[in-house]
Structures are given as C-alpha cells and as structure tokens.
Amino acid sequence: MKTVSTSLSHDGVQGVYSHASETCNCEMTFAVFVPPQAKDGPCPVLWYLSGLTCTHQNVMDKGEYRRLAAELGLIVVCPDTSPRGEEVPDEKDNWQFGKGAGFYVDATQETFARNYQMYSYVTRELPALIEKKFPADMSRQGIFGHSMGGHGAMTIALKHPDRFKSCSAFAPIVQPSTAGWSKPALEKYLGTDQAAWRTYDACALVEDGARFPHFLIDQGTADSFLDEGLRPWLFEEAAKDTGIALTLNMREGYDHSYFFISTFMDDHLRWHAERLT
C-alpha cells in the first residue's frame, strides 16, 4: 500500500492510498478517514460507495462527513467505483458503463471479467487491507452509498447481514435490472441471462429471500433520475411483509447532487453510529 496523501482534519487523519489490486488487476485508489479515537483502540468502520462517474474523491471533497465522524469515532472508507488504467476496457462516451461505472458487480463476460470485479474488491480484498493497515474494528461495520453506490451498499448488506450492522443509502438504484440507465450495463458485465442479475438487484434479492433488519433511504423529490432509474417505492413494495424495516424519507425539493447528500450526511452518520457504537 502506498500513501498518496494525509491531512489532519478535526483531529483525525484523512488519507488517500493506492495499491496493486489482484482482484481488479490494476492500481486502485481509496480514501480512509481515521478519527482521533483510534489513538485509544480500534474503531467501527463505515463504508461509503460512490455513484456513477465518481471516484473516492467526490465524497471526500463534498460529502462533509469528517466533523461528525470524528465526534462519533467512525472510520470512513471510500473505495473507487471501478478499475482504472489504460489497459482497462472502457466506453469513453458512455458515462453509464466502464470506468466510473463498475456497478459493484463481478463481471463474467469476456473483455470485462479480468478487471471489473468490484463486488469482490469491496467485500474481500479491500476489507482485508483495511483490517491489516488501519485501527479498524471489523466486527462493527456499516455500509452506505449514493445512487449506484446506494445500489451497491444495499445489495452487499442483503448478502452479508452477518457482517454489516447497518445500511443506508442516498437515492439508490433499487432495481437496476429494470432501470434504463443500469440494465444495459448489467447485460454487458453479466450476460443476457437475467437470472444472473438478481444477485445484484436489491428488490430481487428480497424477493429471493435475502433479509436485513433495517434500511434508511433518503431521496430527493426534485431528483431528475427519480422516475427513470431510482424508484425507491419499488423497494418499499418488495420489503413489505418481509420483516425488513424501511425508513424512507422523501426530501421535498432536493436533487441528486452532493448538496443533497451533504445536507443529510449527519443523519446517516448518526444512524450508523447508533448501530455500530
């Protein structure tokens, strides 16, 4: 692991790091905020998964999470959204696929399978590195994300309820297998057999028996992607009568941007802290 940069913030340390990923077969960069409480022992870990076109940098620069994370004693890990590098296959004119749009799946199709293994990277390789290199209490983990990252957070939590104690999302893609801006990507990564897509679809996972105790979702009513790609009401319907609790906040007038995310970031951090500390 290489240290790209470190900065003191709210008496904690905001760092950016890189490493050669065996899972994605390329150099991967990620950010970690370590709160001041880590001087006294391991701290809970909160994973933040970013959305389409983003990297670790977006939430680090615009998410406004460090002040409260330092107060609550949370380590915040921000992975990249996809493999990177000149040798990684991409569609440069398609912002919904390729670099910046890994969708947190393990690709099975030729051309993409060598690099696009973001599910395994986020659930196996990077956690092992975090556990080894940082003062992280891996018995207390939570996960959240935005848009494509909200999709990733919810599907990962549903598949690992024994590992994660909390999950929330900002404007998640709750049913990517039918959404116009994600369905083409799933087909390119996973093939035309839609049965293979279900394990990366929160609504389908619930229909197939996956369970998680409680989700928090915040969604802006002025989000231009609401009806085309996000549709949180579909997850609300899927979770009904399953024992899954859902707190769905429709935020009047808010859009899809980090102005929206930063406004409600404190609510999400406190939600996770209640379950992790």
What positions carry a catalytic annotation? 147, 223, 256
Backbone dihedral angles phi then psi of residue 172, each to the nearest 5 degrees = -75, 155
C-alpha 125/C-alpha 111 separation (Å) is: 21
Q: What number of other Cβ atoms are within 10 A of residue 193's Cβ?
A: 9
Query: In angstroms, what is the C-alpha Rg of the chain?
Result: 17
- DSSP structural state of residue 22: T
Backbone dihedral angles phi then psi of residue 67, each to the nearest 5 degrees = -60, -50
CA-CA-CA-CA torsion for 49, 52, 56, 59, nearest 10 degrees?
-80
Q: What region does 57 belong to: left with phi over 0, alpha with psi -120 to 50, or beta? A: alpha
C-alpha 173/C-alpha 226 separation (Å) is: 9
